[in-house]
Amino acid sequence: MKKVFLMVLLCALTFSLYAQNLPVKMEEMTAPQYVNAVDQSNATCIIPIGVLEKHGPHLPLGTDLIDVREVVLRAAAKEYAIVFPPYYFSQIFEARHQPGTIAYSQKLIWNMLQETCDELGRNGIKKIVLVSGHGGNSSFLPFFCQSQLASKKDYAVVLFQPSRNAEAYKEINKELVPGGSGHAGQSETSVMLAHRPDLVHMDKATSQSGKDQDRIKGIDSDYEGIWWYAKYPNHYCGDGSLATKELGEKILNAQVDELVTMLKQVKADNTILEMQNKFYEQAKHPMDTKQ
Ligand SMILES: [Zn+2]
């Protein structure tokens, strides 16, 4: 009896040690590890999404992805999930006038994301969490999520939408200079300073203006695609020279905490997939839906 107990304990210990040693980066897993990772993560994969675009005169082209992957990797180390490899295919037409912008067509970014999700689904993933590090995706990604209802999927796509309500954000907000944060501004530069200071060229942060140039005037209640260019032609919004490493670390920690909470909830949830399946079934025969 004692022997059996010891054997079970040993097996459990070996299994948990094995799980602890699983990589979080999908590209670093062996195929057998991947099978185990799907199980350990409750079939959850995170796709951190960035883009290649100018970030003021002082931050690297890949800032969005470099930052968002740091947040996601820290979160996945606390709450296990598979992290998809570097993903640079998202919406960035508004920066096509700047050097280093890789603006794939709308069809390509759509198909790339849909086929990536389909392939993850074919490989056992049931929950795909999109975490965007790029503000230019704020229309694309919610529309992409809505469009998953157009045809049956056996996985759910969930977009991380931080509410930034936590106490930590209140502290952070006190430190943000009004008008100083935005694209490559105080907060984004602080985050890069916190984890990749070697990529920050602080001496260049004031070499261009990040002020709102407000070049379309006299129209109320409007939206046009050129709005960002009209305001921030240098593809720079705010003032990166206000950044500090300490503020960056606070922002990173707050984002990681919020993502960890969301990951726990998504991993434990069954209702999204249940609702989807019910919906797809009913959508086949809308005339039979009780009125
Ligand atoms: Zn961006």
pLDDT in tens, 255-282: 999 999 999 999 999 999 999 999 999 9
**Does 73 reside within a domain?**
yes
Which residues are near ligand 1, the ion (C-beta closer than 5 Å)? Answer: 64, 134
The pLDDT of residue 7? 56
| Bridge partner residues of 127 (DSSP) | 44, 156
**Does 146 reside within a domain?**
yes
pLDDT of 242 above 50: yes
259: domain CATH number is: 3.40.50.10310
> Mean pLDDT lowest for which of 10-24, 41-55, 224-238?
10-24
**Does 3 reside within a domain?**
no
How close is the Cα of 46 to the center of ligand 1, in Å? Answer: 19
Give the dihedral sign, CA 200/205/210/211.
positive
pLDDT in tens, 67-110: 999 999 999 999 999 999 999 999 999 999 999 999 999 999 99
pLDDT in tens, 27-64: 999 999 999 999 999 999 999 999 999 999 999 999 99
**Does 61 reside within a domain?**
yes
Given a contact cutoff of 8 angstroms between Cβ atoms, the answer to whether 68 and 133 are in contact is yes
How close is the Cα of 236 to the center of ligand 1, in Å? Answer: 10
How close is the Cα of 262 to the center of ligand 1, in Å? Answer: 23
The pLDDT of residue 10? 52
Average pLDDT on 182-209 reads: 98
Given a contact cutoff of 8 angstroms between Cβ atoms, the answer to whether 115 and 70 are in contact is no
pLDDT of 11 above 80: no
How close is the Cα of 3 to the center of ligand 1, in Å? Answer: 58
**Does 279 reside within a domain?**
no
Given a contact cutoff of 8 angstroms between Cβ atoms, the answer to whether 270 and 51 are in contact is no
% residues pLDDT > 70 (the chain): 93
Given a contact cutoff of 8 angstroms between Cβ atoms, the answer to whether 59 and 237 are in contact is no
**Does 133 reside within a domain?**
yes
pLDDT in tens, 109-120: 999 999 999 999
**Does 36 reside within a domain?**
yes
Q: What tokens were used for 235?
A: 């593809």
CB count, 10 Å around CB of 40? 19
Confidence of residue 21 (pLDDT cuts 50, 70, 90): confident
Q: Which amino acid is at 278?
A: K
Average pLDDT on 126-136 reads: 98
**Domain of 116, in residue numbers:** 23-269
**Does 102 reside within a domain?**
yes
From residue 265, alpha-carbon distances to 143, 160, 203, 269 in Å are 23, 12, 43, 6
How close is the Cα of 134 to the center of ligand 1, in Å? Answer: 4
Q: How many domains does the chain divide into?
A: 1
